[in-house]
Amino acid sequence: MSIQVAESCDNCFKGAIVGSGKVEKYAGVDSYIARPTTQGKSAIVYSTDVFGVALKQAQEISDSLAAAGFFVVTPDVFSGDQMAPDFDFGNKEATGKWFGNHDAKTKVATFEKVIAQVRADGYEKIGTLGYCYGARAALLLAGEKKVDAYVVGHPTAVRVPEEIDSISVPGLFLLAETDFAFNEEAEKKTKEVLTAKSGVETQFIKYPGTQHGFAVRGDEHGARDQKAKALQDTIAFFKSKL
């Protein structure tokens, strides 16, 4: 069975640059880099939603992960062509053109290059984090065993079961109570595929009263506490696996 769900998040918050990390070249890719105060052996490669590394909340999440002790790299896989704050999702031609230029599967090679550099820099354990659009690349990387663990929030456009069937590393799904992009059918099939894998730990947490996008911009939609809890759950999971 193949489930292909919505390609976009038309109400994801678009914000300004406020993070305390730095934008620099990493593995030849412009990236938002957030470093922990104490050098460790674990890193996280972050796959953003369609609004890219310039999104205020994306940088805040990176900074929070770094404060928890992880080296965090968020590559600009859009090469500056992320969706603009005033992007009109009602314009089907423009929306289709953007997704045609930025199929998430085509970004995996860039993430692989970044991950290879992270390992070359001495990090022994690497996790990947992906929200919305970015969750698909994170799951593909997990399926290729490029990372040691993954966390995805309200995934978008994931092909189930074919894009998750090869996953054999531990993972955590952060699920909204109401999600146009990861509906009940997709959730049910995903659980069937991943929980059937012997020896592979997959956790699913559903956050009451939330909608698609809450783990990134829940503070804009009355879900500030659930957003904070999802981030705490993410940090706890990565600390236990990396």
Residue-wise pLDDT tens digits, 75-114: 999 988 888 767 788 899 988 998 899 999 999 999 999 9
Mapped onto helix, strand or coil, the DSSP state of residue 201 is coil
The pLDDT value recorded for residue 14 is: 41
**121 contacts 102 by C-beta, under 8 angstroms:** no
User: What residue has token string 């009355």?
Assistant: 222
Does pLDDT of 161 surpass 80? yes
Q: What is the mean pLDDT of residues 200-205?
A: 96
The region of weakest confidence among 1-10, 87-96, 120-129, 141-150 is 1-10
Does pLDDT of 68 surpass 70? yes
Cα 181–183–188 angle (5° rounding)? 135
Average pLDDT, the chain: 89
Does pLDDT of 7 surpass 50? no
- Chain-centre distance for alpha carbon 81: 18
Q: How far apart are CA 119 and CA 148, in angstroms?
A: 12
**137 contacts 47 by C-beta, under 8 angstroms:** yes
Give percent of the chain with pLDDT exceeding 90.
74
Neighbours of 39 (CB within 10 A): 10
Phi, psi angles (nearest 5°) of residue 65: -65, -40
Q: How far apart are CA 152 and CA 227, in angstroms?
A: 13
**168 contacts 8 by C-beta, under 8 angstroms:** no
**Residues ≥6 apart with Cβ < 8 Å to 88:** 94
Closest to 234 measured CA to CA, from 46, 88, 104, 108: 46
Q: How far apart are CA 51 and CA 204, in angstroms?
A: 25
| Single pTM value for the model | 0.91
**148 contacts 125 by C-beta, under 8 angstroms:** yes
The pLDDT value recorded for residue 76 is: 95
The pLDDT value recorded for residue 10 is: 43
